[in-house]
Amino acid sequence: MTTKLHKEACRAAYNLVRDDCSAVICVTFKYDGSTTVPSKQGAEYQHFIQQCTDDVRLFAFMRFTTGDAMSKRSKFALIHQQAAGCQNWDREDPD
């Protein structure tokens, strides 16, 4: 299965998480047919956890703040969640 990426929408969501002035710390991405698109965003880690159900495959881009009051730094993670209820992608044989 060939997948596509809605570049402009995904880039805007990505930049929203990377912006230190933004309250958004998490954006999830899902499939709309064979195209990856932004889904939901949130200002709390719980917004991401609530989306991780037994029947969903999604990606999340998250911002975490580390350090003490004198040296706060933002760290980022791309998370892939594939629930047990989702079937594996068909993989093409490389030969």
- Report the CATH number that the domain containing residue 18 is assigned in CATH: 3.40.20.10
36 Cβ contact list (under 8 Å, min separation 6): 3, 4, 5, 6, 10, 29, 30, 59
Express each pLDDT in 66-84 by its tens digit. Answer: 998 899 899 999 998 887 7
Query: pLDDT at residue 86 above 70?
Result: no
Domain contains 78: yes
What percent of the chain is predicted at pLDDT more than 70? 87
Average pLDDT over residues 28-45: 91
Instruction: Give the structural domain span for 70.
Output: 4-82
Domain contains 60: yes
Domain contains 93: no
Give the chain's domain count: 1
- What is the value of pTM for the model shown? 0.79
What is the pLDDT of the chain when averaged over all its residues? 85
Domain contains 92: no
Domain contains 49: yes
